[in-house]
Structure 1
Amino acid sequence: MLIFAYLLPWITGTIWLVWLESFSAQRQQVNLPRALGYGFFLGYFLCSASIWFLYTVFGQLSAAMVTAVLLLLSALGFFLSWRKYHHGQLAIHVKAPDIKGWDKWLALFLLTLIIVHLAATAYDTYSRPLLPWDAWGTWTYRAKIWFLNQDLSPFVSAENWLNTANPGIYTIPAHNYPAIVSLIQLWPVMLHGQWNDALAIFPGLLAGIALVLALYGQGKSLDWPALLLIAGVYLLISIPLLDAHLALPGYADLWLGGFAGLGFVALLQWSQSRDKIQLLTGLLFLGLGVLIKREGSLWLIVGLLFVIMQVLSWKLLLAMAASAVVAILSGYSLVDLPWLGQIGYADGIFYLPRLGTIILQPRDVSLAVITNLFSSSSWNLLYFFLSASLLLVLMHGKGNARYPVMSFVFLLSAVIATVFFLSAEGEWAKNSTAFNRLLLQLLPALIFVLQLNWQALFPQPANPQTDEKR
């Protein structure tokens, strides 16, 4: 039953990803790793949304009804995919990567290390008690309350909780955090019938496997050499901070890495292939990230700016930037967006939808940022590799990856500068926690940028195995 609980949302999401990618003009065969990777996160979002919707309509938590909805969605998605692929021509071919010589032994070695990493984190997930603070105090705590009460009990501020006599209302400091991650953790124990911390947070480990598959599949769609794909996957799974979130799951940053991180990977892939379905996938995942954690709104704005930078000319971009400066100086840079709230800058305050405000308070945290990126053991040598590759790409890079990569890095740098150098949030850079967790949310995209840089510096012939591409 537990295997069924973990796999059903994954299967549902994968089927719908296959259907979505069937509209791609560049489609040849189903890109199974990419569909499985992105499908996992889409499926678990659909599962949690089904729990919330059915509770809203019927007023009860029912594993049977959620199962029925997911099975119905799976059947509908399969039928639509079957028709889209011309009644039975939906073909999935799985073959081992074509690697020869010493590259083959290096690839096998890296695959072994990847399996060891995942096996070790799986053991930790099941053998260690629930530990991460935000999991214990927010995400998993809500899921446990909901399971024990068999309802979606509301959480309010401490002030409102003190002013109510209703025993069915609860409070936590992060009472206004989105509910999706807690609903994801609620799902397996709903089917199991008994509360168990390890079972509730185990989807977090599966999320790590999905990140691996998605990153591999996106590189495969660009016909990158198999060794480069495997090396990128190993680099991703060997990042100590990611390993910590896999071995001690329960935080929402890992899930936002699946939505925002993979959303940016899809946008970067689109910048190379111009596959409109990848553009749609990237924006869809960034949009869903808004419902995972508050920072998702920030990444959606950055994603939209990235797309704008790829489709508009330099002259128009400069005109827009000049207009923004004039608007700020004249005091007309604050816009009220329907359903989202205010966005812009006024009177020393940045307004961001769903994120609230960031008060302009410049501070120098450059030493803390450098320490976190280059001296901290959380990232191994990732930022050394990234910095060197970016410098080399600027000097000697080939192909069409330079501008998208630099656009992404520029926007990410602007976010870091605004949040940590220009506001009181800079204090979080000094204690490392919030700063590193913010970058963890984009880790798949950072690895993909490194791979793009490698291809720009050392162009290699297309992978001869093309039956699974795109």
Structure 2
Amino acid sequence: MSRQVFPWDAFTTWMFRAKVWVTTDQAVDFVTFNEWLVSGAGFTLPAARYPISVSAVAAFAAAVSGGWSDQAASIPWFFVMTASALIMAGLCRLQSPSHPIAALFGAMLLVTAPLVHWHGVLAGYADIWVMGTSGMGLAGICLWTQHKARSTLAVSLLLLALGCLWKSEGWLWLLLGCGVAMACHFWPRRSLWGWVVIALVTVALWFTQPVDLGPLGLWGVTESTLSAGWFGVFAARPYNPAPAFLEMGILQGNFLLLVPLYGIALVTLLIRDFRDYFGYLLMALCLMAVHILIFGLSEHSVYAETGTALNRLLLQNVPVLVVTITAVLPAKALSSEPVTGDPAIKGLATIDPTTNPTTTESVNKDLARARPDMGNEKLRALLLTVVSGTGLIMVLVVALPLTLAMSSLGAPQRTLTPTQIVSAAELRPVVGDLNKAQQGYRFRGENIPVGVAAIPLTQSNAIQPRYVVSQSWMEAPEQLSFYWINTDEPGVHSTPLPLSGWAILDMAKYQDFWQKPIKEMGILAKPQNFNQAAISSVTLTDSLLSAIPALIHHWITPDPISHRLINTTSGHLPAPIALQRVLVAALMLIIVIGMTWWLLAPATRPAAVRSMLLAVVGLWLLGSSAHLNQVSSLMRNPPVGATTATDTVKLDGAHLIPLIESVKQNPALASAPLLSSSLDRFSQFEAQRLPFMALPTSAAAVDASALINVVTNFSGTVVLLGKNASQLREKAATLAQVSSLRPINSGAGYLMLSPEAE
């Protein structure tokens, strides 16, 4: 609530519409881009077809504050996050009324899932609203299939109906929830013949599709189209989403361990009582079918490749995952029953010592025997916690090298060169000198363009190891760089060192290094960084086991804020192996060890289950700590405000404020429509952000390739954004040949044109 509207789709769609309504003080309609160009009035929105409810909620919150405020408009996201946690706790409590921590456990799983948390912190997307309504409704349907309580069904259907207000996916979840409820209601016995009938009907429908259902539309799949009734007709684009789902749902830190725990829970419920938990299993099959249909057959499969919409759609289903996981919890709490239930203690309330002293003496003896039991119970609980904690540490110790070893199995052998550790004293100065300092070796030199120090190679003109591990000191990241020259391409290539201290570079990402013979490589620095950076050592290795200190340093370093956080997050600086992979490996080891214990020692099965649960909780807390470290870093270091130089790109768009003010202070420019366009990928964010910041001036962003055709009859202002000043002038000259636009203002990174200059 203390920052500007940040996520990409927020300022281009959801919050854009809300700000238009508040700043114009009316619920205006949006026209198409072509209509806006012709009329020169009103407002345009590329995704105007999206439901208006989320924008309306944000607009109401801002209007109550007396005018548009990014902070006020973001407040509803805090409340929807809180409400979602409370609903989740209520569902888990309803599912396990005899388990006192089920509600807390379910709410914790929900709010500490990193992607869910980011959608609550970075306000502006509608997916968390769908999760809090449609997702909770689907979870409620799962509960109803087991307990058959009418009130649960009614509330679930209400939540599913509310989900239709936020995004079109809400209708999909409403149909799916109703389908699961009807299947469980009209097929209570779930006999084998029922499965046979379903299989035959499915095969028959596949051969007869597409099927025209009249008012419900056309349903079916052809070679070129995917017809989904009310939802429309989509281009068919077959794609295997399994690798993307594995990467985004399990191997990245988007949902921590929710997805693997969900799979384990489904297997457990299937074995425990298939008929009793049929609704949970059917819901899982339906959700899987929906994801395969959308990301495996339709044109939306492109978003599975980029890992954007795939994660957000899965986020909407998180309540189903949580309620299924908590269904596996034991019927009773992890700790034993309280000692207050002991007969000796219960008897104290019903015995009068004045009427029966003998009985009182007997009860006192029972109580005396019960007191040691209380101590033993606490000792057993403490011992169980110690065993679980020790086991978790041992599992992590094994999981770390196991994960590193498994990650290298699929990688091709690059070189037979052993690990080479090079101290800074062994580096060979090429340009400038190296002088020893307290933090390491610093570059020195006068009137030199760059300081260069080469690494003495054991084999020149040979393929070098994959990983470069550096130990350095830098006042700011990326003040030192690693460079290389390959034999095939004599040019110098370089990449900055991401961290001060231990850092690691995965050189497999660089095609001009990967499996190429390297002639020379080393460390370089610009003259302005000579006194701000020092190098201590460089290690060349093919084994990540030699880079564990650097990996841990990457894992405890928060990833800088970016617009990608709303779609995918790891919780830490990019590393060759994400911490999430180690957590998944540790989870699998915990399950294997726990199940082995459970099978080999039947008498201690309750202790085995409790130990597994405690170890999984500890593993979850470890993963959450990385995410919380990133969130706390973001709160401590928010994007710099408007006092920053305009040639520096700020993620909240603060560097664009002087440009916006120059437009608003000119009545002629403020009343005319405005177009923004980026000439390079570095300015794309600025071009998209500018229309939101310019409101209530009517503005839109357009691709540079279409700009010439657009401005022919355009009577408003055009802002060109780019880092190359000569490229900006060339584009302005091109536009001047086909329109009346002439430059009227310029600054660092932009050029403004208007027909008023004629």
TM-score by length of 1: 0.66
* Counterparts of 1:387 and 1:323, CA distance in 2: 28
Deviations 1:130-174 (A, max 9, x none): 110111111111011001111111113223333435x23x21221
Work out which of the residue numbers 231, 236, 247 in structure 2 matches 1:355.
231
Change in Cα spacing, 1:311 to 1:229, as seen in structure 2 (3 Å) is: same
> Is 2:214 aligned against 1:336?
yes
Which residue in the other structure is 1:233 paired with?
107
Change in Cα spacing, 1:325 to 1:159, as seen in structure 2 (3 Å) is: farther
Deviations 1:293-320 (A, max 9, x none): 0111211121122112211224567546
Contact 2:266/2:324 (<8 A) preserved:
no
Structure 2 counterpart of 1:460, one-letter code? K
Contact 1:260/1:289 (<8 A) preserved:
yes
Contact 2:14/2:124 (<8 A) preserved:
yes
Deviations 1:268-305 (A, max 9, x none): 22112211122122222212222210111211121122
Deviations 1:387-422 (A, max 9, x none): 122222222x24864211110100011011111122
Work out which of the residue numbers 112, 121, 137 in structure 2 matches 1:263.
137
> Is 2:253 aligned against 1:377?
yes
> Is 2:204 aligned against 1:326?
yes
Could you tell me which runs of 5 or more consecutive residues in structure 1 were left unpaired when the two chains were aligned. Answer: 1-125, 465-470
* Counterparts of 1:279 and 1:386, CA distance in 2: 23
Change in Cα spacing, 1:371 to 1:359, as seen in structure 2 (3 Å) is: same
* Counterparts of 2:90 and 2:334, CA distance in 1: 15
Change in Cα spacing, 1:441 to 1:269, as seen in structure 2 (3 Å) is: same
Deviations 1:330-378 (A, max 9, x none): 34512233xxx52511534333355322333322232111111110111
* Counterparts of 1:318 and 1:309, CA distance in 2: 15
Which residue in the other structure is 1:386 paired with?
262
Name the one with the larger helix percent: 1
Change in Cα spacing, 1:132 to 1:388, as seen in structure 2 (3 Å) is: same
SS at match of 2:227: strand
Work out which of the residue numbers 173, 197, 200 in structure 1 matches 2:73.
200
Contact 2:101/2:333 (<8 A) preserved:
no
> Is 2:67 aligned against 1:175?
no
Change in Cα spacing, 1:324 to 1:381, as seen in structure 2 (3 Å) is: closer
Contact 2:259/2:321 (<8 A) preserved:
no
Change in Cα spacing, 1:194 to 1:391, as seen in structure 2 (3 Å) is: same
Which residue in the other structure is 1:151 paired with?
26
* Counterparts of 2:218 and 2:89, CA distance in 1: 36
Change in Cα spacing, 1:146 to 1:409, as seen in structure 2 (3 Å) is: same
TM-score by length of 2: 0.41
Which residues of 2 match residues 407-418 of structure 1 at below 5 A? 407-418=282-293
Contact 1:368/1:430 (<8 A) preserved:
yes
* Counterparts of 2:120 and 2:55, CA distance in 1: 16
Could you tell me which runs of 5 or more consecutive residues in structure 2 were left unpaired when the two chains were aligned. Answer: 338-758
* Counterparts of 1:332 and 1:427, CA distance in 2: 24
Change in Cα spacing, 1:409 to 1:161, as seen in structure 2 (3 Å) is: same
Which residues of 2 match residues 18-417 of structure 1 at below 5 A? 126-165=1-40, 167-168=41-42, 170-222=43-95, 223-313=97-187, 314=190, 315=193, 319=197, 322-331=200-209, 333-337=211-215, 342-345=217-220, 347-348=222-223, 349-395=225-271, 397-398=272-273, 401-417=276-292
Change in Cα spacing, 1:200 to 1:343, as seen in structure 2 (3 Å) is: farther
Relative contact order: is structure 1 or structure 2 higher (C-alpha 8 Å, sep ≥ 6)? 1
Which residue in the other structure is 2:544 paired with?
none
Deviations 1:33-53 (A, max 9, x none): xxxxxxxxxxxxxxxxxxxxx
SS at match of 1:344: strand
Contact 1:132/1:248 (<8 A) preserved:
yes
Contact 1:178/1:294 (<8 A) preserved:
yes
* Counterparts of 2:37 and 2:332, CA distance in 1: 64
* Counterparts of 2:167 and 2:66, CA distance in 1: 28
* Counterparts of 1:274 and 1:244, CA distance in 2: 35
Aligned residue pairs: how many? 330
SS at match of 1:292: coil
Please report the RMSD computed on the Cα atoms of aligned residues, expressed in angstroms. 2.4
Structure 2 counterpart of 1:193, one-letter code? G
Contact 2:140/2:153 (<8 A) preserved:
yes
* Counterparts of 1:175 and 1:399, CA distance in 2: 45
* Counterparts of 1:367 and 1:331, CA distance in 2: 29
The alignment-based identity, stated in percent, is: 27
Larger radius of gyration: 2
Question: Following TM superposition, by how much is the alpha carbon of 1:461 offset from its aligned partner in structure 2, in angstroms?
Answer: 7.7
Change in Cα spacing, 1:228 to 1:277, as seen in structure 2 (3 Å) is: closer
* Counterparts of 1:218 and 1:331, CA distance in 2: 39
SS at match of 2:217: strand
Question: Following TM superposition, by how much is the alpha carbon of 1:176 offset from its aligned partner in structure 2, in angstroms?
Answer: 0.6
* Counterparts of 2:89 and 2:136, CA distance in 1: 11
